[in-house]
Amino acid sequence: MIFRILAALLVLALIAGSFWLGGEQREPTSTTTVESSSVDLGYSARNAVLVETGTDGLPVYTLNAEIVRQHPSDGVAFEQVQMTFRDAAGQTWKGRADQGELATDTGKVDLRGNVHVDGVLPGSSQMADLSTETLSIDTHEDIITTPDPVVVNEPGRQLKAKGLLAALKENHLVLESNVRGTFTP
């Protein structure tokens, strides 16, 4: 019995000693406070898809890009972008460009560099291919514009103009002066 009491006291002494010695060897720990930043650093992604849906739940536009970069309060920039959007009449348009930008909360997409857009132009019933260097697409107002020279190709027809304004909602197409070629919607 005495042996059991001595063994229990020895175990208690070892436990108390380890706490006592362990407490002395500890260095005080410092606390680090992490403050949240109010600065939005943006984001970046590769092979990304950006979709805006309308009130009906269907996509208004879809942007596929090799590289997407969002800069706070500066919009979103794209490289090697492909875009699909539908106008108020439900017509689907497809475009591609080397670069693009989406302005914050506007629905306005600016494409530049080897821009090609396919869709049915106002007053026409056939698909047309628009090619230019820059093109603005306002997906909320259904307006396509460019101040740059543009080539419009429809089956059997080609039109070259200094610029273009296509108001898709109003079914209205305006081409800048110096129009060359034949085009009758």
Looking at residue 133, which CATH number applies to its domain?
2.60.450.10
| 129, part of any domain | yes
Torsion of CA 125, 126, 129, 135, to 10 degrees: 10
| 123, part of any domain | yes
- The count of structural domains within the chain is 1
| 17, part of any domain | no
Query: pLDDT 10s per residue in the chain (185 long)?
Result: 676 776 666 666 667 666 666 555 555 556 666 566 555 667 788 998 888 888 888 888 888 999 988 877 678 889 999 999 887 777 888 999 999 998 877 778 999 999 999 988 777 778 889 999 999 988 888 888 999 999 988 888 888 899 888 887 777 677 665 544 444 44
Q: What does pTM read for this prediction?
A: 0.68
| 89, part of any domain | yes
For residue 92, the cross-strand partners are 86
Q: What is the per-residue pLDDT for 92?
A: 86
| 166, part of any domain | yes
Domain with 144 in it? 43-182
Q: What is the per-residue pLDDT for 97?
A: 95
| 35, part of any domain | no
| 5, part of any domain | no
